[in-house]
Chains A and B, each alone.
Chain A
Amino acid sequence: MDNAGTKNETIIQVKHLDKVFGEEVKNQVLFDLNFEIKRGEFLSLIGPSGSGKSTLMNILGALERSTAGEVIVNGKNINNLNDKDLAEFRNQYLGFIFQFHYLFPEFTALENVLIPYYIKDFSRKPEIINKANKLLSLVELEGFENRKINKLSGGQQQRVAIARSFINDPQIILADEPTGALDTKTSRAIMTLMRKYNEETGATFIIVTHDREIASGTQRIVELVDGKIHKDFLPSEIGEATAWEELERHACVDCDTMKQQKQVKKDENFGKNKNDCKTCP
């Protein structure tokens, strides 16, 4: 699937999206969400823990069904697809990057990159192997092609996962805290990589993050609070200073809550820097 299509064309349209968990005890997580995402956007989704970011991502990724409302991707209402079509949709249109790489320890780096392609076509053509090799060098993993996954560092593993998400030329890449388990330097490198890919291919990126610095590096920032869109702004339009101000306010979640989150545990230095968890004004 190539990324044909003009920029500024709507690729994702969400209308009156509700998500309620539970049958007897109902727990509404998303409330009447309405927004559009343009083709080629490089967007970050921020918000406090439990605000529904992952839930929204999973619905956009056709992994979870919405309770009400519509999700239209490329003009197709994904609510109307059956399980088989959803599987194909995920394979052809979407690239997933998660906080944990979810690579296959049984396979080498190169084979892992090829898995989404193998799912639809196991012909093992030289062209596709070349492409996988190119993607690995794109994520700066030249020479690691035949390493088993558990012989790679966390950052290297995440880069393999990123290369994997690109193999089928997805139009949309959904990244749920892709740098959550990585240190600041590696996180930056990974963001640079994704941004470069976004500029080169025009693929649409939606990145969930807790990291203000990462969010500040994206084109558009959407903040979710208690399952509602709290803010939705383009840093380039409101100016850098205002954008940081907005982000500062986002950061005013208390340190204890943040620490409890599993994604924070990996970063041992979290909380030592006073900027990590400011108290709200």
Chain B
Amino acid sequence: MRFELMVAIRFLKESKTQTVLIMAGIIIGVSVQVFLSALIGGLQTDIVNSTVGDAPHITLSASENRPFSFLSEQKDTQVFSSVTQSRSRRNIVSYNEIINTLKNDQRLSAVSASVNQQAFVTSGGVQSTVAVRGIILEDGDRIFRIDQRLLQESGSLTGNNIYIGVGLSENNGLEVNSILEMQNSQGISSFFRVAGIFDFENQQANDTIVFMNLTSAQSFFDMFGMISQVDMQVPEVFDAQMISESLSVQFSDYEVISWQETNQQLLAALQSQSGSSFIIQFFVILAITLGIASVLAINVVQKSKQIGILKAMGATGSMASRIFILQGVILGFIGSLIGVVSGYFLLQGFIAGTSSVTGDPLFPIEISASILLISIMVATTASTIAAAIPARKAALLDPIEVIRNG
């Protein structure tokens, strides 16, 4: 330990009220900061997950064909427009090579070939449109997680088996094992067996989507050897844009689109939320910094006698300034340490208070160690900077002023 540290600690102990008040300021500031950033972070993750979690992050198609989320909780009809989008799509021929290349791409966590077509269902004389998705279940599951959403199931997605949403099943009185007649756009009918009923917690998806085996879809829609698009997921949703751009170059004959391109409004909303959270945190840090600076400025005045006498006895200016820098470091470090801990407990309390009866939190709240560490580092750095002005004053203090004026 250095002498400066000993003096700094004594000074802080001696001015107890000031120390406690500024410490309280730092603790409150930092805990609010931790609480806020975890809350907003969690909220954003929740929004992003519900938007694109169980949907393609990137799609590759021959013509314009946007990835969409039929799981979105928001009644965002724009997002859904693609589900009911009408024909005139070109298809991808000889897709095996593309699929193989993509499946070997380490950046992608899921790759699924799909046929997307509209078909018509007649029930009680009323004709309605459904969106058929022909997939290989094993691949499609990794994107849409259909297996987790099936309420009832009596067989895999093979042959003439189809999975329909709860909405479609209720509207048309269909149950598991019911037979459903569908018509393609050419007016050709075929019969299918309902092998599962899913609930995507989204009305439009539940009312219109029909999953079908890829091969069956190809034959039903007369698309032998063709698919409509390739759906992909990436491990980190926000990397999708970057990966999509690189895939665009790699598959220049096709159109590759990321979820970000189709959800720009959402992204803008997230960004402005992050921005306002950043501004709040900035002002919290600024308030802490100003608080420490003013407390230490007062401290320099209060302790000018001691500083002067230390210098008269041979302390250098840099030694005097270190006493105040160290006070800043101590205040910032201990304050933010306690702040981070109390912020953590605040969050735990919030999670406990807002959890549903099952104990699941309202939405996932992320408390990462790195955020806590960064908070401590930022607050400590800010405090050190705040101490610089008083420290400079201490360094420049002329001992003769103190000795002359008693």
Contact = CB atoms under 8 A, between A and B. Distances in A.
Given A83-B317, A100-B406, A102-B305, A119 B312 contact: no
Given A84-B316, A102-B305, A115 B11 contact: no
A115 B54 CA distance: 68
Contacts of B322: none
11 contacts: A63-B312, A87-B314, A88-B314, A91-B315, A92-B314, A107-B10, A116-B313, A118-B6, A119-B310, A119-B314, A122-B1
Interface in B309-330: 309-317, 319
Contacts of A88: 314
Interface residues of B: mostly helix, strand, loop or mixed?
A: helix
Contacts of A61: 312
B268 to A, nearest CB: 55
B314 A99 contact: no
A64 interface: yes
A258 to B, nearest CB: 17
Interface string A85-107: 00111111000101110101111
Interface string A42-76: 00000000000010001001011000000000000
A96 B312 contact: yes
Given A98-B403, A262-B406, A87 B311 contact: yes
Contacts of A102: 305, 308-309, 312, 402-403
B404 interface: yes
A268 B2 CA distance: 43
A116 B315 CA distance: 8
B314 A120 contact: yes
Interface residues of B, number: 28
B313 A115 contact: yes
B316 A87 contact: yes
Given A87-B314, A120-B314, A99 B13 contact: no
B10 A106 contact: yes
Contacts of B7: 106
Given A64-B400, A105-B14, A107-B10, A119 B319 contact: yes
Interface string A199-233: 00000000000000000000000000000000000
B399 interface: yes
Contacts of A96: 312-313
Contact of A63 (B306, B317, B399): B399
Interface in B361-406: 399-400, 402-404, 406
Interface in B272-323: 305-306, 308-317, 319
A122 B1 CA distance: 8
A90 B403 CA distance: 14
A91 B1 contact: no
Interface in A114-173: 115-116, 118-120, 122
Contact of B3 (A64, A122, A262): A122
Contact of A54 (B2, B399, B404): B404
Given A58-B400, A99-B406, A119 B313 contact: yes
Interface in A19-40: none
Nearest to B15: A106
A119 B315 contact: yes
Contact of B315 (A63, A64, A87, A99): A87
A105 B10 CA distance: 10
Contacts of B310: 115, 119
Contact of A119 (B3, B14, B305, B308): B3
Interface in A226-268: 262
A119 B402 CA distance: 19
B212 to A, nearest CB: 80
Given A104-B306, A106-B14, A90 B404 contact: no
A59 to B, nearest CB: 10
A99 B313 CA distance: 15
Among the interface residues A88, A90, A91, A119, which one has the most CB atoms of the partner chain B within 10 A?
A119
Nearest to B11: A106
Contacts of A87: 311, 314-316
Given A96-B313, A104-B10, A262-B406, 5 more contacts: A63-B399, A91-B315, A102-B312, A116-B313, A122-B6
Rank and list the top 5 A-B pairs by shortest CB-CB distance, nearest first. A91-B314, A106-B10, A122-B3, A102-B309, A118-B3
Nearest to A98: B403
A135 to B, nearest CB: 15
B13 A106 contact: yes
Contact of A90 (B6, B11, B14, B312): B312
A157 B315 CA distance: 22
